[in-house]
Amino acid sequence: MPLFARTTTPTLERLRRAPADLAEVLAARTPAAVTLWLGSTPTDEVDAQVAALDRRELTQLADVLTPESASRLMDRLEPHTAGMLLDAVPAPTAAGLLGLLPEDEASRVVRTLDADVAARVLASLPNAQSALLRGLLAWPEESAASWMRPAYLHVDQDARVADALAAARRDPDCADEGVYVDRRPVHAHAFSDEAALLGWIPLRALVVADPDAPVTGVMVARDELRGWSVSALADQEHVLRAADDSPDGVVPVLEDGVLLGVITRDGVQSIREEEGDEDAALQGGTSPLGRPYLQASPWRLWRARAPWLAVLFLAEMYTGTVLRAFEDELSHVVALAFFIPLLIGTGGNVGTQITTTLIRAMGSEGLRARDLVRVVWKESRTGVLLGLSMAAMGAARAWTLGVGGPVILTVALSLAAIVLWASLIAAVLPLILRRIGIDPAVVSSPMIATIVDGTGLMIYFTIARAVAL
Amino acid sequence: MPLFARTTTPTLERLRRAPADLAEVLAARTPAAVTLWLGSTPTDEVDAQVAALDRRELTQLADVLTPESASRLMDRLEPHTAGMLLDAVPAPTAAGLLGLLPEDEASRVVRTLDADVAARVLASLPNAQSALLRGLLAWPEESAASWMRPAYLHVDQDARVADALAAARRDPDCADEGVYVDRRPVHAHAFSDEAALLGWIPLRALVVADPDAPVTGVMVARDELRGWSVSALADQEHVLRAADDSPDGVVPVLEDGVLLGVITRDGVQSIREEEGDEDAALQGGTSPLGRPYLQASPWRLWRARAPWLAVLFLAEMYTGTVLRAFEDELSHVVALAFFIPLLIGTGGNVGTQITTTLIRAMGSEGLRARDLVRVVWKESRTGVLLGLSMAAMGAARAWTLGVGGPVILTVALSLAAIVLWASLIAAVLPLILRRIGIDPAVVSSPMIATIVDGTGLMIYFTIARAVAL
């Protein structure tokens, strides 16, 4: 029995002639063209091309889908793109497309829909399916339970490996997550007759084990399983840490010893991407869009960016105050102004290099606040090396601008001091923030540059005053 | 037959009393303490704590390892940390520890060792193992083949599913990658009697299929498999794209239709982390360290950072030229200098927000150069919104500094113009670079800030002149 729907697999010759663009496929208006396009286009391209369609084109696409190509297509779309497609077609068609996805993926698509569209689509689904979906949608967004697939394979504690194999054969779609062993309580309690989880048989063990062996001898026991399971309301970062420890990358969701569902490898990968999006956005001094870039309106982009810009603007405002305080020096030696962007820019660059490295190391190398002293010691020495290098370049640049000895000296000393100062600030800030419970990714390049700008100016003009300009 | 080494699994009670710190474990000097520590410490913590040890402590750790705890420990260490451990112990011990890892992971550890240490360790390995490792090490770093596991399960085309199951039972360590179906050529060629790949049976299919069925009826055929396989010298990004399309996340390495090895899910995850490190470093305006942060010396940090700082410094130098060109305006109205950091800082911040978003979207959402017009149109409208918002804030700030009407007007107009200008530059640059084959991640925050700084100053002083200061 083949596991993967094998439609007309394009051979190399046909791939070369395959339409590369979805627009051409829609112009052809034949189901075969869609199948060919799906077979010859990488996954992220499929999503990008569908996301670029307007509502009329989306309905045209839905019209030429066969059950097979619809399933392949839905499988490759990101939740937001699938949501756009469902939004464009009549509710019964949308329900049919949604029904092609497993519950966990379907629930993520429904979460992208407007409330009234979601209600219509859910109402068009068969009762059992819509009840399962509503259950999943009730969990708060970003909770572990909102990512789980509620269906999983299970056998009871008296079963043999052959029974677990039979369970996997009945429902192969769940086989990748393995077979769970549970026990129904002998005395049903008043409020619960839910099954307590006893252990887990990974897919590999099903293949390798003797079919006559009792499952309890093959399973990974509950105590060990706890090392990589999460509670229903655990946050996403917690799920990722559990997945790293899970031998198959699959994360069970447990509540009071009862298995509620399983986060699949695909689910873990989706969480990883979402967390990556959030970190990248914070590091770029903006908020995550929560949807693909091409589907975000200018208004939404404005809302993601303007608050951060405003905060940075307010923080940067004191550079004006600093400069006004040194108005006398500035009007006396206008040449000092020539080096303002260069000096504060270099300080910001050094700070950015360090915070980027530290934030990455905190995420993937287990760097923690307890390492603060080592980090500061390492960055001070590096800061001295970099400060001296930059001072030499600064002196050369000041000389080419013909600004005279005192300004050259001021620029060189200031660069060395600013680079060292930026190194220390950047070394300390991410670790301290993590310690007090703030995501260190907020120390973005714009943030560290802003912090260094004003203090760098103070260093610059203080040195200028000391050099007696 | 249990699949996972189950040593003394710590229960919750014991976890609470478990030593949290490896230093305490080493002080105890008992194998049981190591086992307990391994059982109660998350994977990334294990690595970070071992990486923090000095050579003497590493040998102490090696002394108290049991075969079981050694295997668990090696499994959890990053290649560089494992390399430190091997470097600290005698070659035969190092070879013993290395032998606990599958070939692909072992080769990554060996790649971190100095050449003479690597030679000693390889010489201490059994011949068969060292020959396999040497073969892997011969592939260039970052090539797909350097990441593959050369061992895989295979049956020939006449086999039945039961034969594939038997193959998996003989070598369960390779079962996660599935069973491959190949054909030996009937007439052995002069230079090659290697087997041509015909198809692949995923682990799940082994469980689900009828054991008496011929493998050719169950397997995923070669043509489809090609969609997510790579050639031996393919680069790492190519492997990641293939893994996204692979149903089990496993990537076969094919050369002339012959299967050389398989990149496992763990291997794909390692590549993903390495590529993530590279992107993060570039985005932070620095080079990747190629090793964990805490293991990098100040000298190495200097080498990763100084060239980028120097490039940025050279690029930023023309701000001095611009400012000198407007020396008359500056000495006439010193107040203009007060707003230099605020104006160019805001321009850089807007540019950073946009490039970060675009680079992320190019990586994970399939945004391409063909979308340039849509991106520019979207960012122009957003730029107008943001420019107006910032102009209002800028006017308010200039008013509080008491600089007079003309300067207030200049600041407000300049902010609007600089924000729009930065938006356009940042929208165009990453897509153009990708088109001409340069990794767009080089448009880091420091880079875009540098580009915007000088041009922003020109806009500012040109407007100042027009307002007739």
Main-chain dihedrals φ then ψ at residue A434, nearest 5 degrees: -60, -40
Q: CA of A89, closest CA in chain B: separation in Å? A: 23
Is there a contact between A401 and B321 if contact means CB atoms under 8 Å apart? yes
Q: Where are the beta strands (DSSP E) in A227-312?
A: 251-255, 258-263
CB < 8 Å & 24+ apart, contacts of A437-442: A439/A282, A440/A355, A440/A358, A440/A359, A440/A362, A441/A278, A441/A279, A441/A282, A441/A283, A441/A359, A442/A282
Q: Which residue has the higher pLDDT, B112 or B16?
A: B112
Chain A contacts of B450, Cβ < 8 Å? Answer: 345
Question: Nearest residue of B to residue A338 by CA position?
Answer: B320
Question: Contacts by B3-6 with C-beta closer than 8 Å and gap 24+?
Answer: B3/A202, B3/A204, B3/A205, B3/A208, B3/A218, B3/A220, B3/B172, B4/A220, B4/A224, B4/A247, B5/B68, B5/B71, B5/B72, B6/A220, B6/A221, B6/A224
d(CA B461, CA A40): 54
pLDDT for position A186: 56
- For residue B319, the chain A residues in CB contact (below 8 A) are 338, 341-342, 345
From the CA of A174, how many Å to the nearest CA of chain B? 10
Whether residue B262 sits in one domain with residue B313: no
More confident residue, B52 or A383: A383
Total number of domains constituting chain A = 3
Check whether residue B41 and residue B121 sit in a common domain: yes
CA distance B445 to B443: 7
The reply to whether A126 and A175 lie within a common domain is no
Last residue of a domain, one of A138, A168, A191: A138
Tell me what pLDDT residue A468 has: 64
pLDDT for position A438:
85
Buried-exposed string B179-210: b where 16+ CB fall within 10 A, e elsewhere: bbbbeeeeeeeeeeebbbbbbbbbbbbbbbbe
Six-digit token pair at A318?
Answer: 């004191």
Residue A357 has pLDDT above 80, yes or no: yes
Residue B401 placed within a domain: yes
Round to whole Å and give the CA distance between B106 and B82: 9
A356-360, B107-111, B318-322, B352-356: lowest mean pLDDT where?
Answer: B318-322
∠ CA A200-A203-A205, rounded to 5°: 75
Residue B98 has pLDDT above 50, yes or no: yes
* Cβ-defined contact of A292 to B346 (cutoff 8 Å): no
ipTM: 0.82
**Is the confidence at residue B419, as pLDDT, over 50?**
yes
How much is the pLDDT for B1? 38
Q: Test B401 with A324 for CB contact under 8 angstroms.
A: yes
Burial class (CB in 10 A: 0-12, 13-18, 19+), A328: exposed
User: Which pLDDT band holds residue B368 (cuts at 50, 70, 90)?
Assistant: confident
Size of interface A-B (CB pairs under 8 A): 402
Q: In this predicted structure, what is the pLDDT of residue A7?
A: 42
Domain range for A379: 295-467
Confidence band for A200, pLDDT divided at 50, 70 and 90: very high
**Residue with tokens 């107040």, as numbered in its chain:** B335
Nearest-5° angle of CA B162, CA B165, CA B168? 155
Q: What is the pLDDT of residues B230-245, one digit of tens each?
A: 999 999 989 998 998 8
pLDDT for A425 equals 92
Query: How many angstroms separate the CA of residue A284 from the nearest CA in chain B?
Result: 5
Mean pLDDT, residues A406-416: 90
In a domain, A148, yes or no: no
Mean pLDDT for the stretch of residues A215-230: 89
Q: Are residues A28 and A94 in the same domain?
A: yes
User: Would you give the DSSP letter of residue A442?
Assistant: G
Task: Give the best-scoring range by mean pLDDT among A270-274, B325-329, B421-425.
Answer: B421-425
Instruction: Report chain A's mean pLDDT, rounded to a whole number.
Output: 85
Q: Which residue of A has its CA nearest to B12?
A: A223
Contact B56, B21 (CB under 8 A): no
> Quick one: A320 and A455 in the same domain?
yes
Nearest residue, CB atoms, B302 vs list A223, A386, A457: A386
pLDDT at A388: 92
Q: Which residue of A has its CA nearest to B162?
A: A207
Q: What is the per-residue pLDDT for B15?
A: 42
In a domain, B458, yes or no: yes
Identity of the residue in A220, A296, A446 whose CB atom sits nearest the CB atom of B349? A446
CA distance A230 to A253: 5
Per-residue pLDDT at A13: 42
pLDDT at B20: 62
The alpha-carbon gap from B124 to the nearest alpha carbon of chain A, in Å, equals 30
Residue A21 has pLDDT above 60, yes or no: yes
Residue A286 falls inside a structural domain:
no
Task: Give the CATH number, domain containing residue A228.
Answer: 3.10.580.10
- Between chains, do A342 and B317 touch, taking CB under 8 Å as contact? yes
Q: Which of B213, B308, B386 has the CB atom closest to A309's CB atom? A: B386
What per-residue confidence (pLDDT) applies to B439?
84
Which of the four pLDDT bands, split at 50, 70 and 90, describes residue A190?
A: very low
Whether the pLDDT of residue A1 is over 60: the answer is no
> Is residue B279 in some structural domain?
no
* Residues A266 and A308 occupy one common structural domain: no
Q: Which two tokens stand for residue A40?
A: 């010859």
Residue B117: is its pLDDT beyond 80?
yes
**A433 within some domain:** yes
- Quote the pLDDT of residue A385: 92
Tell which of A138, A169, A196 closes a domain. A138
Q: Cα separation of B391 and B408, whole Å?
A: 10
Span B6-35, average pLDDT: 63
**pTM (2 decimals)?**
0.84
CB contact under 8 A, B319 and A312: no
Q: What amino acid is encoded at A187 in this protein?
A: H
* Mean pLDDT in residue range B9-20: 45
User: 3-class DSSP state for residue A145?
Assistant: helix
pLDDT at B3 over 50: no
* Nearest-angstrom CA–CA distance, A349 and B103: 41
In a domain, B277, yes or no: no
Residue B331 confidence class, pLDDT cut points 50, 70, 90? confident
Using one digit for the tens of pLDDT, what is the confidence trace for A292-344?
Answer: 888 888 888 889 898 988 888 888 888 888 888 888 888 888 888 888 888 98
Task: Work out the percent of chain A whose per-residue pLDDT is above 90.
Answer: 28
Name the minimum distance, in Å, from the CA of B142 to any CA of chain A.
Answer: 20
Whether residue A347 is found in the same domain as residue A433: yes
Nearest to B313 among A224, A319, A346 (CB): A346
Q: What is the CATH number for A339? A: 1.10.357.20
Task: Pick the range with the lowest mean pLDDT from B2-16, B192-206, B385-399.
Answer: B2-16
Q: Could you tell me if A206 and A324 lie in one domain?
A: no
* Phi (first) and psi of residue A269, to 5 degrees: -65, -40
Same domain for A77 and A197: no
Return the beta strands (E) in B132-214 as ranges. Answer: 153-156, 179-183, 196-201
Banded pLDDT at A187 (limits 50, 70, 90): low
CA distance, residue B18 to nearest chain A CA (Å): 14
**Residues of chain B contacting A362 with CB distance shorter than 8 Å:** none
Interchain CB distance below 8 Å, A361 and B293:
yes
Residues A221 and A118 occupy one common structural domain = no
| Boundary of a domain, candidates A87, A107, A138 | A138
A331/A324 Cα distance (integer angstroms): 10
| Same domain (yes/no): B121, B165 | no
Q: Return the biggest CA–CA distance within chain A.
A: 93
Task: Name the closest residue on chain A to residue B355, using Cα atoms.
Answer: A284
Of B43, B334, B345, the CB nearest to A449: B345
Which residue in the set A206, A223, A345 is minimally distant from B316, CB to CB?
A345
Contact criterion met (CB < 8 Å) for A386 and B11: no
Residue B8 binned pLDDT confidence (cut-offs 50, 70, 90) = very low
Nearest chain B residue to A166 by CA: give it.
B208
pLDDT band at B9; cut points 50, 70, 90:
very low
The pLDDT tens digits for B436-465 are 888 888 888 888 888 898 899 889 989 988
What CA–CA distance (Å, rounded) separates A441 from A79?
A: 26
Q: pLDDT tens across A432-454, in order?
A: 988 888 888 888 888 888 889 88
Contact A312 B365 (CB under 8 A): no
Query: Between chains, do B273 and A381 touch, taking CB under 8 Å as contact?
Result: no
Mutation target for A interface from B360, B362, B372: give the one with most A CBs within 10 A. B360
Q: Check whether A283 has a pLDDT greater than 70.
A: yes
Residue contact B446–A444, C-beta within 8 A = no
Q: Are residues A315 and A445 in the same domain?
A: yes
pLDDT higher than threshold 50 for residue B7: no
Identify the pLDDT of residue A379.
92
Residue B123, in any domain of the structure: yes
Minimal Cβ distance to A386: which of B169, B223, B305? B305
Both tokens assigned to B362: 């190019």
CATH number at residue A64: 1.25.60.10
- Mean pLDDT over A246-256 rounds to 90
The tokens of B50 are what? 């071992």
pLDDT value at B16 more than 50: no
